[in-house]
Amino acid sequence: MAKMHITTTINGEPTEFLCDPQQSMLDVLRDNLGLTGSKEGCGSGDCGACSITLDGRLVCACLMLAPEAEGKKIETVEGIAKGDQLHPLQKKFVEFAALQCGICTPGVLVAAKALLEKNNNPTETEVRFWLAGNLCRCTGYDKIIRAVMDVAADMRGAAR
Amino acid sequence: MNDVRYSAPNSLDEASKAMMAAGGAGRILAGGTDLLVQMRSGMQKPGVIVDIKKIDEMMSIQDLGGGSFRIGAAVSGALIGEHKALKKAWPGVVEAINLIGSKQIQGRASAGGNLCNASPAADSGPALVAAGAMLTIHGPNGRREIPVEKLHSGPGRTTLAPGEILVSFTLPARPKGSSDAYLRLIPRTEMDIAVVGVGVNLTISGGKCTAARVGLGAVAPTVLLVEDAGKALVGSSLDDAALEKAAAACRAACKPINDKRGTIEYRTKIAGVLLKRSAAIAIERAKGN
Ligand code: FES
Ligand code: FES
């Protein structure tokens, strides 16, 4: 089968890869590029464990074809920390114990970061709606919501 | 595994040609939120995937003035929801499209894809039927326009001919005192498939309803335009008697199935209830316009 040659940007790094035309972006991230932070929970757009941003827009990597990455900018969970410096969301998730098994956490972090970049003053309802596409079987969600609300409050405090 | 090809043409002519060349094996890719799931489950085995997101006309929203908008069929729900003027002019259409899936799904899923997937329960359907949206279709023999209610021929089936592509839908201009609303019933709080969906679009002038259209989803093989419900409202002061008459017309139009999400009796009853509730929202909104 003819492989396609794709040129894209992932977490700020110019990246090239070869893929099959019908391969999902999630498979390329995990299997071809070794970026295994994004998880496959369902492969059908239901769980959000594969959440990435595509040109700044939150999407499911399992529902995107890898060739669609051509010329685009992709951000994954691997791009959230700066070297050894955890992102405020990551720190707060540790502090609040907002994860247990952790399989949903990369997707939740990517989705929460996308929310806070749009709106640093969300209501609890807005946070719950925004993260409704990220399923978690462990935490019962409450600690996740508290952590995101608290980071938002910190961001507003720092901006003052 | 079959050999799939991916192409992302820059023009509708090229896209239409690629679909013709593929015979029955071509599939249009917009947001991919249905297509990729269907490919993974083996329901769809495309030979050629034609990604239409490089075609400007399919990716833009045009304000035509007077409340009329032309919306590219591949524009994502997220972009539609962020368009302030569109949301103000057509709140019912926008709320219906924004009900489709999570934020992640909204980031890619398009109203055109929702329509062409042709599920009778698709949320965009009743709202666009109520709105009186016109579809622009591009094919090997040029362009044609059809009312949105003529797109579906059955569950999962459309009236698009080989090589034809849904390009955009146009929402008409409306007089002052108009608005619309969409409500659906689902077993969960959010993110589920409609058991019944009702879209209402109406105009009020001097305390009387001067125009009304009602779209009904998930209660028949295709989304329905319930003309009798619209007629029951027009000329009335939108009093309880007129709303009950419109609700009865909705119940009469139902040809639902029994399934795990609702019985025939339940769906039929709910169609009337939702007609009244979404009309109430549309009336409130129209009064503010
Ligand atoms: S793996 Fe993509 S949404 Fe579950
Ligand atoms: S921490 Fe286990 S699924 Fe969320």
Give pLDDT tens digits for A50-79. 999 999 999 999 999 999 999 999 999 999
Atom 4 of ligand 2 has which residue's CA nearest to it? A136
Query: A134 contacts in B (CB within 8 Å)?
Result: 102
Tell me which of A59, A79, A99 is where a domain ends.
A79
Q: Which ligand is nearest to the CA of A135?
A: 2
Same domain, residue pair A50 and A114: no
Same domain, residue pair A9 and A72: yes
Nearest-Cα residue of chain A relative to residue B35: A63
Query: A129 contacts in B (CB within 8 Å)?
Result: 103, 190
Q: Give the number of the atom of ligand 1 that is nearest the alpha carbon of residue A135.
A: 4
Same domain, residue pair A56 and A101: no
Instruction: Evaluate if residue B285 carries a pLDDT over 90.
Output: yes
Of A4, A21, A45, the CB nearest to B105: A45
Q: How far is B274 from chain A (nearest CA, A)?
A: 23
The rounded Å distance from CA A109 to ligand 1 centre is: 14
Q: How far is A101 from chain B (nearest CA, A)?
A: 22
Pocket (CB within 6 angstroms of ligand 1): A 40-43, 45-50, 60, 62
What proportion of chain B, given as a percentage, has pLDDT over 90?
A: 92
The rounded Å distance from CA A38 to ligand 1 centre is: 9
Expressed as residue numbers, the domain containing A137 is: 88-156
Same domain, residue pair A71 and A97: no
The rounded Å distance from CA A138 to ligand 1 centre is: 17
- Distance between CA atoms of A83 and B120, rounded to whole angstroms? 49
Instruction: Evaluate if residue B1 carries a pLDDT over 70.
Output: no
Check residues B193 and B245 and name the one with the higher pLDDT: B245
Q: Touching check for A68 and chain B: CB below 8 Å?
A: yes
Please report how the helices B264-288 and B91-98 are oriented relative to each other, as an axis angle in degrees rounded to 10: 130
Tell me which of A79, A105, A120 is where a domain ends.
A79
Same domain, residue pair A96 and A66: no
CB-CB under 8 Å, B5 with A21: yes
Tell me which of A79, A101, A132 is where a domain ends.
A79
Q: Return the number of other C-beta atoms located less than 10 Å from residue B196's C-beta.
A: 29
Confidence of residue A158 (pLDDT cuts 50, 70, 90): confident
Query: B50 contacts in A (CB within 8 Å)?
Result: none
CB-CB under 8 Å, A65 with B32: yes
Same domain, residue pair A75 and A128: no
Same domain, residue pair A64 and A10: yes
Q: How far is B192 from chain A (nearest CA, A)?
A: 11
Helix (H) / strand (E) element for B213: namely: strand B208-217
Same domain, residue pair A100 and A74: no
CB-CB under 8 Å, B5 with A65: no
Same domain, residue pair A97 and A123: yes
pLDDT at A1: 62
- Domains in chain A, number: 2
Least Cα distance to A69 among A27, A100, A36, A97 occurs for A27
HSE (CB half, 13 Å, CA atoms) of B272?
Answer: 17
Read off φ and ψ for residue B198, nearest 5 degrees.
-130, 130
CB-CB under 8 Å, B108 with A20: no
Give pLDDT tens digits for B140-164. 999 999 999 999 999 999 999 999 9
CATH code for the domain of A62: 3.10.20.30
Same domain, residue pair A70 and A93: no
Q: What is the mean pLDDT of chain B?
A: 95
The rounded Å distance from CA B270 to ligand 1 centre is: 33
Mean pLDDT of A116-135: 97
Of A45, A68, A129, the CB nearest to B33: A45
The rounded Å distance from CA A101 to ligand 2 centre is: 5
Same domain, residue pair A101 and A140: yes
What proportion of chain A, given as a percentage, has pLDDT over 90?
A: 96
Q: Touching check for A44 and chain B: CB below 8 Å?
A: yes
CATH code for the domain of A111: 1.10.150.120
Q: How many CB pairs under 8 A join A and B?
A: 89
Give pLDDT tens digits for B84-142. 999 999 999 999 999 999 999 999 999 999 999 999 999 999 999 999 999 999 999 99
Same domain, residue pair A30 and A97: no
Query: B191 contacts in A (CB within 8 Å)?
Result: 132-133
Least Cα distance to B154 among B119, B199, B198, B126 occurs for B119
Dihedral sign for Cα B65, B71, B75, B78, please. positive
pLDDT at B2: 59
What ipTM does this complex have?
A: 0.94
Q: With left for phi above 0 and alpha for psi between -120 and 50, is residue A136 left, alpha or beta?
A: beta
Of A63, A70, A111, the CB nearest to B103: A111
- Between the alpha carbon of residue B88 and those of residues A148, B80, B112, B149, B244, the distances in Å are 30, 11, 21, 24, 28
Per DSSP, chain A holds a count of helices (H) and strands (E) of 5, 5
The rounded Å distance from CA B32 to ligand 1 centre is: 13
Of A44, A48, A67, the CB nearest to B37: A44
Query: B41 contacts in A (CB within 8 Å)?
Result: 44
